[in-house]
Amino acid sequence: MTPPPLQITCKEFAELVTAHEDGALPERDRIRFVSHSERCPGCRAYLQQFRLTVEALRSVPRETAEPENLDELARRFKEQKPPAAS
């Protein structure tokens, strides 16, 4: 039996990053991904950029808004009857 080809290209590497970061790669693909990054400085840099991107996305402040009729919704909420006790 021939061993599976473990080589992937840089182009393939770039497609697998999110799946790798989510822990969603099957084992064989994970091995390919990790071995490629061991050998390829360009892809290691790409991964670093990608991770900094995700980190920056996570630090974007939340947008908030409240509905104009918040008081009305709150009143309806207060008046909503709990289900009849069984």
List residues binding another protein (CB under 8 A): 9-12, 14-15, 17-19, 22, 24, 40-46, 48-50, 52-67, 69-70, 73-74, 76-78, 80, 82-83
Label residue 23 left, alpha or beta by phi (over 0 means left) and psi (-120 to 50 means alpha): left
- Report the nearest approach of another protein to the CB of residue 7 (Å): 11
The Cα–Cα gap between 39 and 6 comes to 12
- Report the nearest approach of another protein to the CB of residue 2 (Å): 21
- Report the nearest approach of another protein to the CB of residue 31 (Å): 19
Cβ proximity to another protein: between 1 and 68 the closer is 68
- H/E element, 10: helix 10-21
